Amino acid sequence: MTLNRLILKFVVTSVALIASAASFGTPWGALATDSSAHGGFTQVIFDENGTQLTETTGGFRVLRPNYIDWQTVRPERQRYLVNDEAFWQQDEELGIVIKRDTLGAANTPLRFIWGDLPEENDVTVIERSDTTLSVDAVIGSELQRVTAEWKGQDTLVISTTDALGQQTVVTLTIETRGSLSPADFDFKLPTSFELYDETSPQSPIDEESI
């Protein structure tokens, strides 16, 4: 099974922007003071001409500093889970689970998930307010424009545009805040699923591979 790179890049980018403005007012500030959040999402990908290519729906859970559970429901049922042990990809249709090296916060955009944006060359703030955050950020090896905008108190719309003009738009609906613990991100292999262990003994996953 091929790793869905578009989804995974957007997972870490979306979560990175959820609470990267702890000093902002409502609603940024309200979420930034919580340790966790979960809800639903819709992800739409457009080509450079604005034509819709795909639409994906599902649910998400996040916990500071780098626990992520991203589950797609339509058009395919897949789960992407990041915890201290590994990065897990579960495919319901194929009945398999791939275990990879966990996403290291130092090697991906996860490094600025829950704090202020770092003063580094790979992040340039374009706009920053109580409801909007727009940056130029290096995601993997590509420079992309990333914009997050609140639409009310509990709906956050995050969009990225790559160098070729392809745009990904994810609408996050925040349903609950501050109720998760690391134990909620433990992974249990489902009955009858086959496990493929692709972890390496030492090196964390590199950002170029997602």
pLDDT tens track, the chain, 210 positions = 443 555 555 555 555 555 454 444 556 555 556 678 888 999 899 999 999 999 999 998 888 777 888 899 999 899 989 888 998 999 999 999 999 887 644 344 333 333 345 555 567 878 877 778 787 776 666 777 778 888 887 888 888 888 888 898 888 888 877 788 999 999 999 999 999 999 887 644 444 444
The Cα 207–Cα 107 span in angstroms is 6
The pLDDT assigned to 147 comes to 82
Among 135, 130, 160, 108, which Cα is nearest to 32's? 130
The Cα 137–Cα 113 span in angstroms is 13
Among 86, 88, 107, which Cα is nearest to 200's? 86
Can you give the pTM of this predicted structure?
Answer: 0.75
Q: Classify residue 3 by its DSSP letter.
A: -
Pairing of strands 194-197, 87-91: unpaired
The pLDDT assigned to 207 comes to 45
Q: Where are the beta strands (DSSP E) in the chain?
A: 36-46, 52-63, 67-74, 78-82, 87-91, 96-100, 123-128, 132-139, 142-150, 155-161, 167-177, 194-197
Q: How far apart are the first and last CA of the chain?
A: 14
The pLDDT assigned to 120 comes to 53
The pLDDT assigned to 52 comes to 96
Q: What would the two tokens of residue 171 be?
A: 């609408």
The pLDDT assigned to 1 comes to 42
The pLDDT assigned to 164 comes to 85
The Cα 119–Cα 132 span in angstroms is 19
For 5-204, CATH gives 2.50.20.10
Among 186, 11, 7, 197, which Cα is nearest to 97's? 197
The label of the residue with tokens 């914009």 reads: 147
CA dihedral in degrees (38, 20, 115, 142; nearest 10)?
A: 100
Question: Quick check: 84 and 186 in contact, CB under 8 A?
Answer: no
102 phi and psi angles, rounded to 5 deg: -65, 155
Q: Where are the domains of the chain?
A: 5-204
